[in-house]
Structure 1
């Protein structure tokens, strides 16, 4: 009788699991959409990995303007999605408003801190830590003592990249000059033509290493790097192969890991309406493995960057204001 009861429980459990409804996950990408070799592609990669590993139904959209965030948030919510992830800070106001109407729906937003203690998770990164590492590398590699940073727009989020980059460069080279410009305009994160113009302008000012935080605009920046025969540093995703041998490394912002993590937590019943922080310790940021530039950078410099990483993780080097 006990054996029969045990088999019965197993069969019931199996039947229940196999008939469990998939978690519906909606992803709202930021302007520029897929193909940016950067932020959006990384987020989508995390979504696909979660789809492979978990019982989820996915959908994604590529807004053409920031004004569409609210529309898609409402559409997903009204259609019964369980978890809705927005990759752009521009969705914060709309998400905070719409989430009140759908208290049983879970929301997550990347790169900004939404109102805590509710049904919104804020997925933020310590861009300064990763940028410190690539800044130190730029400080080691420059010959002109001038390096550049190109941002999409002049806002605190983008300046987290700049600040870390400058701190890292000056950590190894106190006399280095960091020249900064911003793309601005109607499409700061998806304007490769303007990106190339900025890169060439910097090179004409004797800048010989350029780091950017501009999304798809960075494709044009790297074209300028190639044309002027200087070094570039990619961002968000591995962009090293855009110009092999001239992109020293990319500051990885592992948005894929954050998207995967919040889906996993939701699946396991561990979703929290709080801040999730992804730094070096959490593998949220970092560098590539220098696939095309190991010999150019040299073992000594690569080891030095690894030591800096360890010091930040251990707390020996403390960043922030």
Structure 2
């Protein structure tokens, strides 16, 4: 009798274990389910003339698509533009590839994206750094970078030894001048708080005039603009010109070898991570989290939640910020760090109003 009971118990246990094993086999992880859904989805990207290795906004946006390929299991296609004339054919190439969502990178792609969206109403698009297109199938990915640039301007003023800091742009367009506005206001706020008179070279916010290279792809123009600012006395310089920041980095390295003490504020991505060659001169970076935004937009589309409502990166949602000081961490005083953190809190709380004509309108 006891033997029968024991055998029955063992059989029941075996059945239970078998059921658990089958249950485990039939319940794949959520990540696998997501990747399964992504098998029939194609995410695409078209760069501007800076290309995907610009160590700036094209590269960061492309990184987001690569992350989506890895995390969501989607198919990825890309088209790199070498000139403005490539925009339309590259977008047509993506439409021929039956892309579910196509990311276009940069304000300069606005017209081509608008035209492609009108011709392909069933396809979805997202454009980085532009909010001009009003269409049901186009989602803007934009940033109020004036907020983070304000922090960078305050930092630059606090670190300057010459009492002069500088900035220059690639092309005079809103997604460039928004950085320059915030930077200038950050310096102004520092002066007001500290009773100082740090000057901003290369940009006059009131007049909306300043130094521009009229290029995003001729690195030597960045070197030239930077050398002019250094010669005028600037010792902290923020280029807002995509790949031309490499020219600024080269000029700063050369100046420092010659006995000067020049540092750089990178933009779009954390320059220490994307351009480590210049890490010894990068004070901080004004970062736009484009990689995360791109992946988030693709995931929402994959989940059937696409909308044309703009994604707006701010200090509050961490869509934009300044990067860590990295190799400059010991050179930035604890006092300055505390002040920067307070300024960040005050901007988020609305106590400090950061205003630019180019800021996204909510």
TM-score, normalised relative to structure 1: 0.90
Equivalent of residue 231 in structure 1, options 241, 263, 271 = 263
Taking the aligned partners of 2:75 and 2:311, their CA distance within structure 1 comes to 23
Cα pair 1:25 1:83 within 8 Å, conserved:
yes
Worse overlay, 310-319 or 22-31 = 310-319
- SS of residue in 1 equivalent to 2:141: strand
5+ residue gaps in structure 2? 1-18, 203-209, 257-261, 357-362
Q: CA deviation at 1:99?
A: 1.4
Cα pair 2:107 2:175 within 8 Å, conserved:
no
The equivalent of 2:207 in structure 1 is none
Q: CA deviation at 1:16?
A: 12
Q: CA deviation at 1:177?
A: 1.5
The equivalent of 2:338 in structure 1 is 303
> RMSD over aligned Cα, in angstroms?
2.2
Worse overlay, 127-136 or 232-241 = 232-241
Equivalent of residue 286 in structure 1, options 296, 306, 321 = 321
Q: CA deviation at 1:21?
A: 4.1
Taking the aligned partners of 1:210 and 1:61, their CA distance within structure 2 comes to 32
Cα pair 1:69 1:90 within 8 Å, conserved:
no
Taking the aligned partners of 2:38 and 2:328, their CA distance within structure 1 comes to 49
Q: How does 1:125-274 map to 2 (within 5 A)?
A: 125-174=143-192, 175-180=197-202, 181-185=210-214, 188-229=215-256, 230-240=262-272, 241-274=276-309
Q: CA deviation at 1:183?
A: 4.1
The answer on 1:113 being equivalent to 2:134 is: no
Cα pair 1:251 1:287 within 8 Å, conserved:
yes
Q: How many residues align?
A: 310
Cα pair 1:23 1:57 within 8 Å, conserved:
yes
Worse overlay, 120-129 or 306-315 = 306-315
Q: CA deviation at 1:223?
A: 1.1
Taking the aligned partners of 1:17 and 1:205, their CA distance within structure 2 comes to 55
Cα pair 1:46 1:255 within 8 Å, conserved:
yes
**Rg (Cα) greater in structure:** 2
Cα pair 1:133 1:309 within 8 Å, conserved:
yes
5+ residue gaps in structure 1? none
Taking the aligned partners of 1:17 and 1:309, their CA distance within structure 2 comes to 38
Cα pair 1:116 1:275 within 8 Å, conserved:
no
The equivalent of 1:51 in structure 2 is 69
TM-score, normalised relative to structure 2: 0.80
Taking the aligned partners of 1:110 and 1:134, their CA distance within structure 2 comes to 22
- SS of residue in 2 equivalent to 1:149: strand
Q: CA deviation at 1:117?
A: 4.8
Cα pair 1:212 1:233 within 8 Å, conserved:
yes
Taking the aligned partners of 1:163 and 1:19, their CA distance within structure 2 comes to 43
Deviations 1:201-256 (A, max 9, x none): 11111111101111111111111112223111111111134333422111112211
